[in-house]
Structure 1
């Protein structure tokens, strides 16, 4: 896998990055229909870029790094702005940001000080991302459509995000520790 830039999947990921400021400004302006539509379009482009990367055999190292960055930027920005607008309680945003910042700092420190380069997300981390997408979708949908099941589902998914964020952080620390132990054991032989 090389650093290929002009692949279709990478271009879709870059387009998803372009969605972020438009989703955020629409939430800030209380244009929730537009914010929801753009959020759905970003989600579809996320699924499509992964599908095309496999189907067209255009997987790249750049895509492996760019895709989660685009996801985190959109999701974290939405948590932040929705909390700022008092639509999501701050406790959820603080937990999501704390986990992501701690993981980022830990990985950067390990990257600089050790030979470990395996920072793949855990299964719980991927499940957490799915829960975040679902929760944010229902939060935005709840601002557009007033239905009780949406309100209940939104609250349920936000608490699921809270729990999965905590569990996935602990699991990721365990995985990184295990991977680090393997790398240092192999290097000392």
Structure 2
């Protein structure tokens, strides 16, 4: 299935992206890969719906690729001093809490929390923020333009990301308080 292959390609790009940022510090190539990842994130969902190739694997691969790109970008940007630790910690903590929620739900026989529009929006905004933040490196006119835009998208995306995490916790608590499902998930 084409959409799943695109998601796998995105996943394979994560270590390359990290290497470009942290190894040779090839920011232009890392930026191109980040933009490619964002475009293919949109494309795989569109193709899955258009070709009627939506699958359980695709529903796992797509958010996994999103989360890995977000985590990889946050860690690389922290190590490169592009963003401070106090921006990274709540976003990484949100991912850790969500991971615990998924484990608790599975242990209770439930499916992972439903993806919310706020969660999708948060991912979308952060995926826009990251290229702008990468462009801020340097003293060019483009960097001066990108700086406030990148910071604004980062602040907005971070708030939405943490908010969506809180909503996933609420979903998890509600599910765990309800009767366990009768069929295996």
TM-score (norm 2): 0.88
In structure 2, runs of 5+ residues without a counterpart are none
Q: How does 1:50-65 map to 2 (within 5 A)?
A: 50-65=45-60
Which of 27, 41, 52 is residue 21 of structure 2 equivalent to? 27
In structure 2, the residue matched to 1:86 is 81
Shift of 1:185: 8.0
In structure 2, the residue matched to 1:159 is 155
In structure 1, the residue matched to 2:44 is 49
Shift of 1:142: 2.1
CA RMSD of aligned residues (A): 1.9
State the distance in 1 between where 2:28 and 2:180 align. Answer: 54
In structure 1, runs of 5+ residues without a counterpart are 1-6
- State whether residues 118 and 179 of structure 1, in contact with CA within 8 Å, keep that contact through their aligned partners in structure 2: no
Q: Secondary structure at the match of 1:143?
A: coil
TM-score (norm 1): 0.87
Residues 1:146 and 1:95: Cα distance change in structure 2 (over 3 Å): farther
Residues 1:163 and 1:139: Cα distance change in structure 2 (over 3 Å): same
State the distance in 2 between where 1:185 and 1:108 align. Answer: 15
State the distance in 1 between where 2:70 and 2:101 align. Answer: 20
Shift of 1:186: 7.7
In structure 1, the residue matched to 2:170 is 174
- State whether residues 13 and 66 of structure 1, in contact with CA within 8 Å, keep that contact through their aligned partners in structure 2: yes
